[in-house]
Amino acid sequence: MSAPRPPTLAAPILAGAQRQARNAVSRALRPEGTGDWLLVATLSGEGFVRCAGRVHDLVRGDLLLFQPGAAQDYGHRNEQGRWRNVWIHFRPREDWLRWLAWPALSPGVMLRHEGEAAERLSPLFKRIATCVDGTLLGRQIAMNALENVLLTLAREPDAAAAIDARLQRALDYIACDPAGKMDLDTLADVAGLSKSRLTDLFREQTGQTSQVYVERFRLVLAAQLLQDGRVRVADVAHTVGFSNAFYFSTRFRKTFGATPSQYRHAARRSRPSSQQSVDP
């Protein structure tokens, strides 16, 4: 069996604006997802997302978010309507990860209903879509605008209501010490909840068990560290809390479609020539 092709890491962020007209329906169907995060912001009209056997409408102000490796099935709602959106593929900075624990429709698929409140975010989304022009400066401006979006959402009063404060304590603990002890007993103590109640909250608000959430967080953080292109795979595994390098490699490959070494090599190739690592 041939090794999987390493992922394409052309840039930390790729984005664009889509205006779907009547009599032309588009659909994105990726059963294996992608190796990066995908945010789709509906600016007007109607789209849809299908997950866990259900179809959910996407209307103005809806923000759809896919984690790496999560199946993607979304698109224009129907040929009689219109759909205008901004799509953003991105590789989050390390400190963004705790802001990406949105309410889940299914494991790895999250949706926020911002409604009219999303109006003030529209200029930021449009800036992201227009600034990604292939230049380093354009990508940096787009990344900063996306960070502004995530910070704004994190400060929203509704955001606090979306994620239970006790669960948030556990999520912050995971983010602050990814290599720390993450068994259910420890997380329940941090949250101040019984194990059964914390288990219920994880499923209700993230669509995942605590174990799956922790592993996904660690793997996404590992991918972020590997994008540097100069760090050793063994060091990354240790930093994010995997004591067994073989298990780390197996789980990383399942999520991103490439081994950590392949992912690291792809990241090296994508770095500007002036930043290429000289490590062997």
- 40 plus 118 within the same structural domain: yes
Number of domains in the chain: 2
- 102 plus 152 within the same structural domain: yes
Instruction: Mark which of 161, 179, 200 sits at the end of a domain.
Output: 161
- 40 plus 58 within the same structural domain: yes
CATH number at residue 145: 2.60.120.280
Report angle CA 177, 214, 240 to the nearest 5 degrees.
45
* Sheet of 54-58, strands arranged across: 27-30, 72-76, 47-51, 54-58
Q: Residue 92 belongs to what domain range?
A: 13-161
* Sheet of 37-45, strands arranged across: 13-20, 83-90, 37-45, 62-66, 109-113, 104-106
- 94 plus 153 within the same structural domain: yes
pTM of the entire structure? 0.69
Say what the pLDDT of residue 274 is. 36
Indicate whether 276 belongs to any domain: no
Say what the pLDDT of residue 229 is. 67
Indicate whether 109 belongs to any domain: yes
- 167 plus 263 within the same structural domain: yes
DSSP state of 277: -
Indicate whether 45 belongs to any domain: yes
- 22 plus 148 within the same structural domain: yes
- 180 plus 141 within the same structural domain: no
Instruction: Mark which of 108, 135, 161 sits at the end of a domain.
Output: 161
| Run means of pLDDT, 10 residues per run, the chain, 280 residues | 40 84 81 89 93 92 91 88 91 78 85 82 90 79 90 67 80 87 94 94 82 86 78 90 92 83 73 36
Indicate whether 176 belongs to any domain: yes
Q: How far apart are the first and last CA of the chain?
A: 27
On whether the CB atoms of residues 166 and 201 are closer than 8 A, the answer is: yes
On whether the CB atoms of residues 77 and 42 are closer than 8 A, the answer is: no
Indicate whether 6 belongs to any domain: no
Q: Please state, in angstroms and rounded to a whole number, the distance separating the CA atoms of residues 280 and 273.
A: 16
Say what the pLDDT of residue 270 is. 53
- 50 plus 71 within the same structural domain: yes
- 51 plus 106 within the same structural domain: yes
H/E element, 229: none
- 133 plus 20 within the same structural domain: yes
- 110 plus 177 within the same structural domain: no
Indicate whether 275 belongs to any domain: no
CATH number at residue 201: 1.10.10.60
On whether the CB atoms of residues 79 and 22 are closer than 8 A, the answer is: yes
Helices 165-176, 195-206: inter-axial angle, 10-degree rounding = 90
Indicate whether 1 belongs to any domain: no
Measured from the Cβ of residue 214, the count of other Cβ atoms closer than 10 Å reads: 22
Helices 136-155, 122-131: inter-axial angle, 10-degree rounding = 160
Say what the pLDDT of residue 268 is. 66
CA 25 to chain centre: 26
Instruction: Mark which of 161, 191, 220 sits at the end of a domain.
Output: 161
- 198 plus 143 within the same structural domain: no
Indicate whether 167 belongs to any domain: yes
Q: Which of 58, 16, 7, 64 has the alpha carbon at shortest distance from 36?
A: 7
